[in-house]
Structure 1
């Protein structure tokens, strides 16, 4: 899993480094959503961090560009990304 250098973080996220560490070590977290680059097209994926527990998910190829608490906040971050570009 790779994190974008200029990671977009939701306003309700307090300790980003702690969340990153928990994601890398496989710890469970409630309410944390990730925004990543899609592997199939030029879009972004929004998903709950619990999906990382599935064997199907390839964590090594995952490129995270945003972390949010809740789906609504994740959608807000995607809108902010679009405005920045």
Structure 2
């Protein structure tokens, strides 16, 4: 089961988020959708994953908490930039995991 943060970011190209989430939860392919997750690697702040990788149940089980969703890779990169800028302006740092814990 996918773990969604209750206040995740949604990219401007996303239409009908409930349908996309339902398809993802049921392991259905959703082409062109990218998920932004908290990184498990301490050298990275966030990760961008194509939603198609979650078709495999084992990959979906290992997916970190989802904090954003976008349509297309470019929109995903823009959304990550926006998220990091917001976090930096609100906290003065890059403590991404702490920010999401307290959000």
TM-score by length of 1: 0.88
How many residue pairs end up in the alignment?
Answer: 85
Please show how residues 1-85 of structure 1 align to structure 2 within 5 Å.
Answer: 1-41=2-42, 43-54=45-56, 56-59=58-61, 61-85=63-87
Question: Who wins on radius of gyration, i.e. which is larger?
Answer: 2
Partners of 1:3 and 1:24 lie apart in 2 by 10
Q: Give the helix-richer structure, 1 or 2.
A: 2
Pairwise CA RMSD of aligned residues? 1.7
Q: Structure 1 residues 78 and 63, CA, compared in 2 at 3 Å: closer, same or farther?
A: same
- Report the secondary structure of 1:57's partner residue: helix
Give 5+ residue unaligned stretches, structure 2: 88-103
Contact 2:28 2:55 in 1 (8 A): no
RCO higher in structure (CA 8 A, sep ≥6):
1
- Which piece of structure 1 moves more, 49-58 or 19-28? 49-58
Contact 1:35 1:44 in 2 (8 A): yes
